[in-house]
Structure 1
Amino acid sequence: MLFLLLQLISLHFLEPCTLNVTDMNSNNIELKWRQEELIFLHGDLIEFECKQGYSFLQTTILLQYPKSPTEKCDSPPSIANGALTLPPLTQYDNGSSVQYSCSEYHFLQGSEKIYCSEGEWTSPPVCIEPCTLSKSEMEKNNVLLQGFYENQIYFYHGDYVGFYCKQNHFGAESGTTLFQVQCKRGQLLYPRCVAGEK
């Protein structure tokens, strides 16, 4: 089987070179010898081979491969209703990561970690506000909170909240007396109960 022998030469103060699995996959190559670490020191020799069904081209971009991106990232972006778990630095090395957490009861949507990739940060998460229980809305709609949810005021985005009609009241549309309502982006659509019989 054809294989390519590359000598790694780093021009940046002899920094180590890091292989990128995504780059290798997109070029249909793999390491000839399996190994855990994908970091190599200046002067190391690495043998690549084509994946099954592929062969090396005469003129190939592999001559520029592997490369070690050294572009740094500025401070990571701030997010509404959330913050970094550690104080931010002014600069981060390529490949560095930071972690976010949301304010209490806020739902974290996306990845809590973002990464510095060639001078740019990956997309930060979004912190979605909770639903806040409104006693006045419950009174207006003649509903009570199911016992399981008692003493709760805040509900996460996506959570379900149980309500039931006051005595001698029934659902205005459904005629039922028990309801499960989902909190959606800070909004609760309260069921409405009216006095009378089914």
Structure 2
Amino acid sequence: MSAYKFCILLLCPWFCFAQEQEQSCGSPPVVQFGDTLEPRERTNKHGTVITYTCPEYYIREGNKEVVCRNGEWDDPPTCIEPCIALEKDMIANNIQLKWTSHKKLYIRDKEWIGFVCMNGYEISNENLLRIQCKRSVLTYPKCSKIGE
């Protein structure tokens, strides 16, 4: 934040006061995977508001709007990637999706997904077949051949 001093030297040489000067900002912060609703300008006036959006299945963390305040932007949001359940990963772990026959499924951050073991396979604890998406990472359960 910058300020300039204004002094009244004739009447009171010791009396000075600072007055805030509104400064403009540069381009708004770039958000990975995010976009802005307003056009991105190189220079933005003090008080300019920029609104961020995230793609479908991505979760916005933080404020959706940032404001230019005296040459500084507010902290921008983050777009958290979804998890992607892929057929190849499910086959490698002898599992399939519980509620759908899709071969690929997008899961938002912190959402839960259920699996079942493929025919001829089992798991020691059925609760392990329900997992949570954690910041774009799925830790798949693994089913073993029955009797192994």
Aligned residue among 135, 140, 165 for 2:117: 165
Partner in structure 2 of residue 190 of structure 1: 140
Q: Percent identity?
A: 31
TM-score when scaled to structure 2?
0.76
Kindly provide the amino acid, as one letter, of the partner of residue 194 in structure 1: S
Q: CA RMSD in A?
A: 2.6
CA contact (8 A) 1:70 1:94 kept: yes
Q: What 5-or-longer segments of structure 2 have no aligned partner? A: 1-5, 7-16
CA contact (8 A) 1:74 1:90 kept: yes
Kindly provide the amino acid, as one letter, of the partner of residue 75 in structure 1: S
Aligned residue among 74, 78, 86 for 1:122: 74
Separation in structure 2 between the aligned mates of residue 113 and residue 132 of structure 1, nearest angstrom: 28
Kindly provide the amino acid, as one letter, of the partner of residue 64 in structure 2: E
Q: Give the 5 Å matches for 1:31-180.
A: 69-147=21-99, 149-151=100-102, 153-171=105-123, 174-176=124-126, 179-180=129-130
Q: What 5-or-longer segments of structure 1 have no aligned partner? A: 1-10, 12-63
Kindly provide the amino acid, as one letter, of the partner of residue 85 in structure 1: L
Distance 1:115 1:177, change over 3 A: closer
Cα-to-partner distance string for 1:102-132 (whole Å, 9 max, x where unaligned):
1332221111111111110011111122111
Separation in structure 1 between the aligned mates of residue 118 and residue 53 of structure 2, nearest angstrom: 39
Deviation at 1:145? 0.3
CA contact (8 A) 1:146 1:163 kept: yes
> Helix, strand or coil: the match of 1:162?
strand
CA contact (8 A) 2:128 2:141 kept: no
Separation in structure 1 between the aligned mates of residue 126 and residue 106 of structure 2, nearest angstrom: 25
Separation in structure 1 between the aligned mates of residue 127 and residue 29 of structure 2, nearest angstrom: 47
Which ranges of 4 or more aligned residues in structure 1 deviate by more than 3 Å?
149-152
Kindly provide the amino acid, as one letter, of the partner of residue 195 in structure 1: K
Partner in structure 2 of residue 43 of structure 1: none
TM-score when scaled to structure 1?
0.58
Deviation at 1:191? 0.6
